[in-house]
Copies of this chain bind each other. A is one copy, B any other.
Amino acid sequence: MNILLQMTARAIDEWRAELERVLPEANIATWPEAVSSPDYVLVWKPPPELFRRVRPGKAIFNLGAGVDALLALPTLPTDVPVIRLEDAGMAEQMAEYATFAVLRIYREMDVYETDQREQRWLPRPWRAKADFGVGVMGLGMLGRAIAAALVPFGFPLAGWSRERMSLPGVATFAGAAELAQFLGRSRVLVCALPSTAETRGLLERTTLGLLPPGAHVVNIARGDIVVDDDLVALLDAGHLGGATLDVFNTEPLPPDHPFWHHPRITITPHVAAVTVVADSVAQIAVKIRRIEAGEAVTGVVDRIHGY
């Protein structure tokens, strides 16, 4: 079979070597040097001309969990299945990041960081977890892994998703009708939603205002789910206590953006979950072999819902 790989210049050699190792039966070409009529194309933020010049025969693999950028490409063929990475080491990383952020907020480690800089020894009193609900928005593979990692720590956990889900140890809420109730009990809100027509701009003045006073927003999904100005306004008004943001409407975050130096915003440079090459290639290889054998695969993107 023929595979075309498109990746950033920095990473393409590592991906190619791993593909050759795991799929020795495949002919592997890399964009833009060699273009043919591949059975499979593996892409990461491809340029629009790729799909003008290449006609994938069987499937397009997106080398990441979020397909919003790929689906927005006007040249993307509509009659070839798009398959996204499921987990591939990302769920574990998301769970680590969310656990770190929730514990940091609950234990007021951000306050102690400031206290150390200002040479202040000031122990804060213990806080009961009963008053410290954690809400996970989005209960796909990543959101479920986040919730599962948090269960042992004993926070009152809630989850919100488009369609109703059931998860052990998590109170679940579904759809627009139950959003206010979910937000109202989320002292920490962890956003793990895909970026779709329904979720873009979802966290704006009204919805963020439904969070309890002092609430903290953790966004490790996509920057465009949050309306930046509304987030800053609610932080400055004192309604929100803080935000931990890994993703942004524009990345890298522009130098003049107010997030950089806001005293209650913590920033990381889109690293909550990075693609792990070996895990990703192993997953893609399994799916390719299943397709070749005429079997069904998971992770096929629903173009209507956008994820």
Chain A residues close to B by CB (< 8 Å):
89, 92-93, 96-97, 99-100, 103-104, 106-107, 109, 112-113, 115-116, 119, 121-126, 149, 152-154, 251-253, 255, 260-261, 266-271, 274, 276
Contact = CB atoms under 8 A, between A and B. Distances in A.
Q: How many copies does the complex hold?
A: 2
A154 B100 contact: no
Given A121-B252, A260-B116, A100 B96 contact: no
Contacts of A260: 116, 119
Contact of A100 (B100, B119, B276): B100
A187 to B, nearest CB: 15
A217 to B, nearest CB: 16
Given A92-B154, A153-B96, A269 B123 contact: yes
A109 B268 contact: yes
Contacts of A270: 123
B152 A115 contact: no
B271 A124 contact: yes
23 contacts: A89-B126, A92-B154, A96-B103, A96-B106, A99-B99, A99-B103, A99-B153, A100-B100, A100-B103, A100-B104, A100-B109, A112-B267, A112-B268, A113-B266, A116-B266, A119-B260, A121-B252, A121-B269, A122-B269, A123-B269, A123-B270, A126-B274, A152-B152
A46 to B, nearest CB: 20
Given A113-B266, A119-B260, 9 more contacts: A93-B126, A96-B107, A97-B103, A107-B271, A122-B269, A123-B270, A123-B274, A124-B271, A149-B152
A269 B112 CA distance: 8
